[in-house]
Structure 1
Amino acid sequence: MKHLLTIGLVLLLLVGCSNRELSTEPDYDGLISFIMKNQKKESVELYAACEQALPKSIEKGELEDYQKIIKIYNKNTDVFSKAMTLGFLSSVSTEDPVLKDSIFNAVKKAEIMIKSEAFLTSAREYYQERNFTEDELNDRLTAYRAMISDGYAQLLIERHQLTEALNVYEDIIADYQDTEILLNYGKALNKMNRYEASLIACIEALKMTPGSLDAKSEILNTAELLGYSKAEVNTMIDETIFVGRNLLRQNFLADQLNIPMPEFEIEGIDSTTITHEKFKNKILIVSFFATWCPPCLEELPHMNEVYHQYINDDDVEIIVVSTDRDKYLVPPFIRKNGYDFPVYYADGLNKAFGVKGIPTLFVIDKQGMIRYKKVGYSEGEEFGKIMSWYIDEIKAAEDV
């Protein structure tokens, strides 16, 4: 069966949106009507409608609808899509105790599914169709499993099953760590009065994302519980940020590429046309986004700041490229947000660059070689510093 990944777009807030465009917001009553009429005919469309309707039924408090939909959706044999859909129900809020129990059972089921061989096989089929390498697949699935397990652990905490939640977190961080998961782990440790272990987790979170205000706040709160003075806590935070930035800089710059930039000719939202020839002897940043992509919406304001930072630097050019199919959405989106960087339509350029998720940006040197690639946006990351690291490194190499 063809794979679905409708609700799976949600999880790409840490790793970038997949190359799939969201359609117009579906009408809830229309979804329910379609599902009920077609429930006996197994199809991609039926399960796609279920994936969209399940979280909506929870948000609306429609218990009866939820129970009908989940019964139908459980027949879906696509293990990858099913695990993703059920797993991310943990992010949907409700006060209904029966729906809360239903969500818990669905997420618990997903937690079991993501550890199965069937999940791996199903996911491999999906991503091989999209030309993912084995390493890219493994990285993506490790992140997916971690985020679903994180949601499950949070539900365990809500049910005061703290020991079980900590066991889940320890399994997660053995294979995968990111700022949000480390902070959630630290908060769980705090609930069990394990303040020293919590402080260590929060310090590691800040080290990974030195701009994270949440990490700084958790360090401050936990350190005070341990009796540290404010001066000691501030020193602790400053030292962690210093170490974290140095580690990040090393990691970002270590992933250097040496790939020719593809030739291109693209049209801007102002109807002007540019080609790759325009950027000879320039350091070029090409950033791919879409108006419907949540992490893109987080990143773009920072890209606008970077654009203004380098607007008078004759060596640096920045272009932002929309992958939206509905081009008419782009100009009003740019105007509404007050962005000043030049914006163009991809028209296949994303495929030429090998983009597999957005936001993705490339940094190209003056010889037209792609030197760096950055995928995704994480809340709290110091985007401007990262861009300056890339640009400064290329400039330094050319000055040698």
Structure 2
Amino acid sequence: MTGTPAPELDVIQWFNAAEPPTLAGLRGKVVVLHAFQMLCPGCVGAGLPQAKKIAATFPVDEVAVIGLHTVFEHHEAMTPVSLAAFIHEYRLGFPIAVDRPGGDGPIPHTMAAYGMRGTPSLVLIDRAGMIRRHAFGAEDDMKVGAEIAWLMKEGAERDE
């Protein structure tokens, strides 16, 4: 998927967003898409803390952090009501979308469109809307931060 246009998010609900963001509307910013499940130990221990750090570190006018709650197991336990409590308890302040459930199987729509293998998953989208990194599992904070900074610089140079 790296080097291809990022598919638009196919979601059913948003948290922490007055207006639902779209990838098209975020063009010109680097987008950090963190896919997670609230019952995923890797998400709670590594992915979501990283997303919080990114949101706190980079300027919001240049980097957009989007959480994607993509449920492919334990559907009964991970409802939007449970997610709202989870977001509050973990103090997640960035926009979080609920992936549209799969019609003919357990894999939700956006997860399938991106070819995600599980959670946590990290997707970095450049200012032009192209996927530049697609990773599964815990990622090193320093490496991810450097990649985001590179994408910010790359886009700024192109605009000069």
Alpha-carbon distance change, 293 to 372 in structure 1, aligned in 2, over 3 angstroms: same
State yes or no: 1:355 paired with 2:116: yes
1:142-175 CA-to-partner distances (Å, cap 9, x unmatched) read: xxxxxxxxxxxxxxxxxxxxxxxxxxxxxxxxxx
Question: Secondary structure of the equivalent of 2:84?
Answer: helix
Root mean square deviation, CA, Å: 2.1
Provide the aligned length of Structure 1 versus Structure 2. Answer: 140
Structure whose residues are more often helix by fraction: 1
For 1:371 and 1:329, how far apart are their aligned partners in 2? 32
For 2:37 and 2:10, how far apart are their aligned partners in 1? 19
Matched letter for residue 335 of structure 1: H
Matched letter for residue 114 of structure 2: F
State yes or no: 1:307 paired with 2:55: yes
Deviating beyond 6 angstroms after TM superposition, the runs of 4 or more aligned structure 1 residues are none
Question: Secondary structure of the equivalent of 2:97?
Answer: strand
Among residues 47, 61, 64, which one is paired with 1:317 in the alignment? Answer: 64
CA apart distance, 1:365? 0.5
Contact persistence 2:124–2:134 (CA under 8 A): yes
Question: Secondary structure of the equivalent of 2:25?
Answer: helix
1:6-64 CA-to-partner distances (Å, cap 9, x unmatched) read: xxxxxxxxxxxxxxxxxxxxxxxxxxxxxxxxxxxxxxxxxxxxxxxxxxxxxxxxxxx
Listed as ranges, the matches of 1:1-400 within 5 Å are 257-266=2-11, 267-270=13-16, 272-299=19-46, 300-310=48-58, 312-324=59-71, 325=75, 326-347=79-100, 348-377=109-138, 382-383=140-141, 385-398=142-155, 399=157
Larger radius of gyration: 1
Contact persistence 2:68–2:99 (CA under 8 A): yes
1:295-354 CA-to-partner distances (Å, cap 9, x unmatched) read: 0011212221211111x3411111001013422221101111122222111112111111
Determine which structure has greater relative contact order: mean sequence separation of CA pairs < 8 Å that are 6+ residues apart, divided by chain length: 2
Quick check: 291-300 or 319-328, which moved more? 319-328
For 1:262 and 1:346, how far apart are their aligned partners in 2? 13
CA apart distance, 1:265? 4.8
Scaled by the length of structure 1, the TM-score of the pair is: 0.33
CA apart distance, 1:386? 2.1
1:128-151 CA-to-partner distances (Å, cap 9, x unmatched) read: xxxxxxxxxxxxxxxxxxxxxxxx
Structure whose residues are more often strand by fraction: 2
What are structure 1's unaligned runs of at least 5 residues? 1-255
Matched letter for residue 122 of structure 2: L
Matched letter for residue 258 of structure 1: G
